[in-house]
Amino acid sequence: MSTTFQLDTATSRANPTPAPMKRLTIPAIRKRKVNGITVEPVVMLTAYTARQAQLLDAHCDLLLVGDSLGQVIYGLPSSVPVTLDMMAAHGAAVVRGSYHAAVVVDMPFGAYEASPQQAFESAARLLKETGCAAVKLEGGAAMADTVAFLTQRGIPVMGHVGLTPQAVNVLGGYNARGRSDAEAAKIVADAKALDDAGAFAIVVEGVVEPIAIDVTKAVSCPTIGIGASAQCDGQVLVTEDMLGMFERVPRFVKRYEEIAETISAAAARYATEVRERTFPGVEQTYQPK
C-alpha cells in the first residue's frame, strides 16, 4: 500500500496516511485509447490547492495544476508572468491533497522553450519537488524534439495545441483557432508531431469543432478537449469556471454551480451577525465550567 500526504480535515494539518488505492498511472491513461477509440473518456479538472484536490480527486482521472493559476489565484492578466516557483508550490500542494488522480503540472512560459536541456531541468525540478506524474507544455511541431527528449529520459509529457495561452501576445488574443485552411492544417500537423514524439495525451484548446475531431482521429494518444468537441477523448475545464466563481467565463464553459453567489451570501450573513453582535454565540465561545 502506497503512502501519500493528505490534509486531516479535523485539524487542517498534513499527516501521512495510507492511500486507499493506487494512483492512476500515465501509461494507464495512454492506454484508454486503443485503435483510435476511447471507450472511457478521460476526465480532467484544474486544481491549485490541497483542499481543492481532495474534493476533486475521486471524480477525476487527471488533475491539472495549470498555469491558469496566474489569473485564477494571483489575479495576473495572463499566464505569462507565472514562475516555476509558483508551479512547484501549487503542484506539491495538489499532490499532497490527492491519492487517486494522476497529477500533471504545467511548465510555465520561459521554463522550457530555449532548449530541450532547459526543459529537462525545469521538468525534473517539478517532478522532484511536487511528486507529480507528468508535465504539460504548449506548442506543436516546434516542441516535438523537446517532447521526445523528455520522454526518452523518463518524463511523461502532455502536449497542448490550438489556442495556446502562453502565446497570447503572438496570437493577438484568445479567439478560436483553425478557421482558415492553413491554420487548421497546422493544428493537425502539430498534434501529429507531438504524438510521434511520444506525448501521452494532447490538450486541444479553443479550436473549431471539425478540427478538434480531425486531430482526435489523426493521433494515437488521447486528446483532451477544452473549447473543442465532445468527440475528443476527454475533457478539461478550469474548475473555478465550471463552479461559477467568476462573473465572466469563456463561452465553451458550462457552469455546473454558482459558488460565487453562495460565498457572497455567506459573507453577507456573517457580516450582519458581527455587526449585530449575534456572532459568536454561546455555541462558538468557551464558557466557564
Q: Which residues are catalytic?
A: 205
**For the stretch 224-240, what's the b/e string if a residue is b when 16 or more beta carbons lie within 10 angstroms of its beta carbon?**
bbbbbbebbbbbbbbbb
145 is in an annotated binding site: no
Contacts of 49 (CB under 8 A, 6+ apart): 90, 93, 94, 97
Task: State the cell numbers at 251.
Answer: 463561452
Task: Measure the CA–CA gap between 253 and 199, rounded to whole angstroms.
Answer: 26
Q: Is 68 known to sit in a ligand binding site? A: yes
Q: How many residues does the chain have?
A: 289
Residue 79 is labelled as binding a ligand: no
d(CA 200, CA 26): 7
Local structure of 38: helix, strand or coil: strand
d(CA 33, CA 177): 25
33 is in an annotated binding site: no
229 is in an annotated binding site: no
Taking Cα atoms as reference points, which of 17, 14, 92, 7 lies closest to residue 54?
7
Binding residue positions: 67-68, 106, 136, 138
